[in-house]
């Protein structure tokens, strides 16, 4: 989110400094692993669908200005039990916004995609104009174009402290101190590492993903969509085999709580890293459950209701917060960056962000999105 906001600020001619603990794109946060799903019809708050539509427009613009393809429209198939509220809400949002979707029963799904094995009790919403983003390439494009517009990137520089002074917000690092009139704090899973932000309702979670050898005739990106499905044992998301990469799958729920400065264990440290993913594939995509060809771990930044935090600091209105994206934020990073840039420069957000306000955690949680 920070790199995106930096890009949109620099495009407006704003003097922009981007401080990162690593050297983006990197493996220390939530964006690595090559791909992220891009879909539009959302359950939960209707704002998500509106933002996803705008995000898609901005991704296309970023492709045009950067000369690089970032969004691949393989389609996305969301599967769940018949009558599931989340599927109903996605269909309603698609109808409201004129999005093309298909409601499919289990027989239709099995017929269209021979690699899927599901019981008759399952149905799906297929969105043909959805797909996947090349996440690391997106971050690099934001960075390259931000720098071209005059932004300065300070990599490998962890923030130690943030303090309010009479005429600026001061950011302290081992490489020096920086002052700014306005500050966007988008620390991802690292909010707990900076004093003053450790009490935010954001929990960092270790997540495992893996790429499994698969039948390319069934699961290649030319033939197979991105997907989500869930059962009593967990909720999963995944990607087709891209240029022979194997089918990538991750589990959206579960995972291990992680505290900054504590060990962050590699894939395989916990038996469930592979076991959960292999069980899901063996059950629903059995010919994609071959040997693991690649694996990794990343970090989620979870809020109690799995909705974002996009707000001004409750005490310091020249500090803006963007966090808690809860494992479904990357697709929105283009539009969130645009929103933050406009808010910083114009003093007002371009849309109603009350569903993402920090104060909701003192007045009751909202519905979990899917």
pLDDT, average across residues 54-83: 98
Residues 22 and 119 in one domain: no
Q: What is the DSSP string of 50-64?
A: HHHHHHHHHHHHHHH
Condensed to tens digits (0 to 9), the pLDDT of residues 121-164 reads 999 999 999 999 999 999 999 999 999 999 999 999 999 999 99
pLDDT, average across residues 82-101: 96
Nearest by Cα to 30 from 153, 190, 183, 193: 190
Residues 8 and 93 in one domain: no
Asked whether residue 365 carries a pLDDT value surpassing 50, the answer given is no
Report yes or no on 217 lying in a domain. Answer: no
Report yes or no on 281 lying in a domain. Answer: no
Q: Identify the pLDDT of residue 195.
A: 87
Given the residues 40, 252, 299, 360, the one annotated as active site:
252
74: annotated active-site residue: no
Contact present, 130 and 75 (Cβ < 8 Å) = yes
Q: Identify the pLDDT of residue 166.
A: 83
Of the chain, the percentage scoring pLDDT greater than 90 comes to: 95
Report yes or no on 273 lying in a domain. Answer: no
Report yes or no on 360 lying in a domain. Answer: yes
Given the residues 16, 35, 157, 366, the one annotated as active site:
35
Residues 13 and 59 in one domain: yes
Region of poorest pLDDT, from 108-112, 127-131, 190-194? 190-194
Report yes or no on 317 lying in a domain. Answer: no
Residues 103 and 82 in one domain: yes
pLDDT, average across residues 207-226: 99
Contact present, 358 and 314 (Cβ < 8 Å) = yes
Residues 114 and 3 in one domain: no
Residues 61 and 117 in one domain: no
Residues 154 and 61 in one domain: yes
Task: Give strand pairing partners of 171.
Answer: 162, 178
Given the residues 11, 207, 331, 360, the one annotated as active site:
331
- Spatial separation of the C-alpha atoms in residues 90 and 120, rounded to whole Å: 20
Q: Identify the pLDDT of residue 175.
A: 92
Residues 133 and 68 in one domain: yes
Q: Average pLDDT, whole number, for the chain?
A: 96
331: annotated active-site residue: yes
Task: Count how many domains the chain has.
Answer: 2
Q: Which two tokens stand for residue 356?
A: 């993402």
Q: Identify the pLDDT of residue 231.
A: 92
Asked whether residue 364 carries a pLDDT value surpassing 90, the answer given is no
pLDDT, average across residues 268-280: 98
Asked whether residue 346 carries a pLDDT value surpassing 60, the answer given is yes
What is the chain's alpha carbon radius of gyration, rounded to the nearest angstrom?
20
Q: What's phi and psi for 362, nearest 5 deg?
A: -105, -5
Q: Which two tokens stand for residue 10?
A: 């620099």
Asked whether residue 368 carries a pLDDT value surpassing 50, the answer given is no
Report yes or no on 244 lying in a domain. Answer: no
CATH number at residue 350: 3.50.50.60
pLDDT, average across residues 235-258: 98
Region of poorest pLDDT, from 159-163, 195-199, 298-302, 361-365? 361-365
Enter the pTM of the model: 0.96
69: annotated active-site residue: no
Domain extent, residue 100, equals 76-125
252: annotated active-site residue: yes
Asked whether residue 367 carries a pLDDT value surpassing 90, the answer given is no
Report yes or no on 225 lying in a domain. Answer: no
Nearest by Cα to 368 from 303, 300, 307, 302: 307
Residues 48 and 145 in one domain: yes
Given the residues 31, 36, 203, 360, the one annotated as active site:
36
Given the residues 298, 299, 313, 366, the one annotated as active site:
298
Query: Rounded to 10 degrees, what is the CA torsion of 313, 316, 318, 324?
Result: -10
Residues 23 and 114 in one domain: no
Question: What are the b/e assignments for 124-134, b being 16+ CB within 10 Å?
Answer: bbbbeebbbbb
Question: With bands split at pLDDT 50, 70 and 90, how would you rate the model's confidence at 366?
Answer: very low
Contact present, 331 and 31 (Cβ < 8 Å) = no
Q: Identify the pLDDT of residue 363.
A: 58
Given the residues 248, 299, 328, 370, the one annotated as active site:
248
Residues 11 and 120 in one domain: no
pLDDT, average across residues 80-97: 95
32: annotated active-site residue: yes
Report yes or no on 330 lying in a domain. Answer: yes
Residues 44 and 149 in one domain: yes
């Amino acid at each position: 989110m920070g790199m995106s906001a930096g890009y949109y600020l620099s495009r407006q001619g704003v003097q922009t400094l981007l401080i990162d603990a690593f050297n983006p794109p990197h493996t220390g946060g939530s964006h690595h692993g090559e791909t992220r799903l891009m879909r539009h019809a959302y359950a939960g708050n209707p704002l998500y669908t509106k933002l996803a539509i705008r995000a898609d427009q901005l991704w296309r613009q970023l492709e045009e200005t950067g000369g690089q393809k970032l969004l691949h429209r393989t389609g996305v198939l969301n599967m769940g039990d018949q009558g599931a509220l989340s599927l109903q809400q996605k269909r309603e949002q698609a109808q409201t916004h004129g999005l093309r979707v298909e409601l499919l029963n289990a027989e239709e799904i099995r017929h269209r995609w021979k690699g899927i094995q599901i019981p008759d009790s399952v149905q799906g919403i297929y969105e043909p104009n959805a797909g996947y983003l090349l996440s690391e390439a997106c971050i690099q494009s934001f960075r390259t174009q931000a720098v071209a517009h005059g932004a300065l990137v300070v990599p490998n520089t962890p923030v130690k402290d943030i303090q309010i002074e009479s005429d600026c917000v001061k950011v302290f690092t081992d490489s020096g101190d920086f002052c700014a009139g306005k500050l966007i704090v988008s620390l991802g899973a690292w909010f707990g590492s900076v004093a003053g932000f450790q009490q935010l309702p954001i929990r960092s979670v270790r997540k495992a993903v893996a790429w499994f050898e698969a039948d390319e005739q069934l699961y290649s990106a030319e033939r197979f969509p991105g997907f989500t499905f869930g059962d009593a044992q967990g909720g999963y998301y995944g990607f087709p085999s891209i240029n022979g990469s194997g089918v990538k799958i991750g589990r959206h729920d579960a995972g291990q709580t992680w505290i900054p400065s504590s060990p962050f264990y590699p894939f395989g440290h916990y038996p469930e890293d592979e076991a959960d993913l292999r069980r899901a594939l063996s059950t629903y995509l059995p010919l994609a459950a071959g040997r693991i060809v690649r694996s990794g771990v990343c970090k989620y930044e979870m809020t109690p209701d799995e909705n974002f935090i996009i707000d001004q600091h409750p005490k310091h209105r020249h500090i803006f917060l963007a966090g808690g994206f809860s494992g479904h934020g990357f697709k929105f990073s283009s539009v969130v960056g645009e929103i933050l840039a406009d808010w910083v420069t114009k003093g007002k957000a371009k849309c109603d962000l009350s569903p993402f306000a920090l104060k909701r955690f003192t007045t009751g949680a909202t519905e979990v999105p899917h």
